[in-house]
Structure 1
Amino acid sequence: MEYMNSLLNVGTKDVRMVAICGMGGLGKTTIAKAVFNHVFHSFEYKSFLANVRENSKQDKEQICLQKQFLFDILKTEVREVSSVDRGIKVLKDRLCNKRVLLVLDDVDELHQLIAFNCHSDSARKDCFGPGSYAQLSKDVVGYFKGLPLGLEVLGSYLREFKSVAEWKNALEKLGKAPHSKIQEQLRISFDALDRYEKKIFLDIACFFIGMDKYYVTKILDGCEFFATSGIGVLTRRCLLKINHDDKLMMHDLLRDMGREIVCQESSDNCGQRSRLWHCEDVLDVLTNSLGTNQIEGLALNMDGPVKLTLTAEAFARTQNVRLLQLNYVPITGGYEHFSKKLRWLCWHGFPLNSIPKNFYQEKLVAFDMQYSNLRQYMSELSIF
């Protein structure tokens, strides 16, 4: 609030535009409402327009917003707003000399600002009683990594439970199935992406968090996803972060949301999902011949105490796999069964001394064979 007030500097005579940006559930609307309620007494003309994104999908909806704004300011209905462009002109004519406080909540497109001449070119107490469970409360905060929406929703959810055991059990449940209300809010940003950006987001959420931006961009460009621009969009929409080491980072709740979207592709049959990353799911698919052409990415890491040998034939039913990680997984049988659409192969601890000739590699972009027995590799492909 203090920072927002310093940015607005209500006492000045110039025009100020302040944008609050961030991922869904961060508290942007709450801050905007609090600021509005704090300063609106200083303005004769004021308006708070909520749900702009939802109410601006069609021109007639934008016109209704323009009319609502004018009514809030002029206290009378303005009939001459027959189109968005006409509304812009009316706004200019009627409001050009008025000192106005306008809040546009939930804006995600430039045209929503233009419709109001708002763009760069126009000028209750704590409920904790004695004996509350301090460590569990810290666990809750830790789970949501400080996301206010998560704390609000889960706080309401956990009030239904009366014992420490119930709280712990509820948190364990959330670890496997994130709360639906939080998922719904976070998914708004995902649903606004185009099909390439959605694929990039899901690939990163399932396989590439913590990896080098340049490395992942080459892989996804190899998948013809236009990754340079797509990663830029995800970053600007706060669905992805690039840290100081150029690593791709993502809030845990956004990662969980992405993975839940994949799980919802088929709740019962893992083989019908586009991406597999849980060891149990991958082994279930590969050992029980449940693979399908729906699978585009698959990751299996077996560097723990459990060792298992798989047959190459298990991959014969997964011919649309683009991304494959098989760390410390021994394979027997013919390598011709692997997908010919592979762009990324990460196989730490590759068991053979050389790449079999029947292993199709023409479309590979990145080939990570660290800690392997590989001694000879005759190809122009770069090894990472």
Structure 2
Amino acid sequence: DFRQISGRAGRRGFDDIGYVVAQAPEYVIENVKAEEKAAAKGKKSKAQKKRPPEKGFVNWDEKTFLKLQTAPPEKLTSSFNLRHGTLLNVLSREHEDGCAELRRLIRVCHETPIKKKGLRKKAFALFKGLVEGKVLTIIPKEERTGPAKVELNVELQDDFTMNQALGLYLIETVLKLDPEDTKYVLNILSLIEAIVEDPTAVLRKQTDKIKTALMAQLKEEGMDYEDRLEALEEVEHPKPGKDFIYATYNEFVLANPWAKEAGVRPKSIVREMVEDWTSFEDYVKSYQLERSEAVLLRHLSDVYKVLVQTVPPTAKTEEVAEAEEFLSGMIRQIDSSLIDEWEKLREMENS
């Protein structure tokens, strides 16, 4: 991360020279100020009570800064993978031979020859499932009017995102929700969170918080220690609406076998934030996520993108629009470049 940030300060063609300044931790600065203040008042040099760092604080000093500058960067390893969303994005292009492009992507990726061979097999298996599920159709040679060899069968809104393999499931299931339900917005968010990747670090903190509260409650009730430990083993992160999500997903898979591999993963992070109108900072403090802020921000961004692009406009009530605005404002406040760059990409795609 340090190399990336410092590299941006002196990109070729943009800046001739760049600087990165590291400031000491807040508690160190406060201690220095206190010492200077005491010296200015002419107090004798005696042991001053120094302010300690906050619990769980990851400390750094000048040696840390020097190490970041001189230590070799960590080796980057490729993690290229194929999912249904990738295939749909590439193969559904109207003015390009998506099949040839998919083969090219596998050929030029930075994986080993053995892994590339596995990727080709996986691509064929995913492709076969999409064709059998009637999501894609192979265009007969005599009917082809351009380079495209396959076509997408489903009708989607113009800016629908294929990044999520279960985007089609989301569209179908959102329409089953009752807009008059007081938890309509929260239920939509639960569906979205169920189809995006799990932010493991955040879910772990949620589980830990529940376990801590339960442990104290069971101890107060007089339960034996061994029984308490056994009860804690059954604790998992919150999954509101999981019965509805699992049931509708199983129905969807019966009609779309290709979606079976993706799976749904119910959770409640963004839902919890919207339900309580919790700020990013308060949520981080509540679950002690100081070291996982980037993970939380990425999850927020993923959910926001799906909410904007994939949820049908007809399903967006005034309350849904308010939640969308709430998330947009939160993400923009933390890192406006995420929203700005994404909106530029959307404008380019639409034009």
Shorter-chain TM band: under 0.3
Q: Name the structure with the higher helix share.
A: 2
Q: TM-score, normalised by structure 2?
A: 0.23
Q: TM-score, normalised by structure 1?
A: 0.22
Structure showing greater relative contact order (alpha-carbon pairs closer than 8 Å, 6 or more residues apart): 2
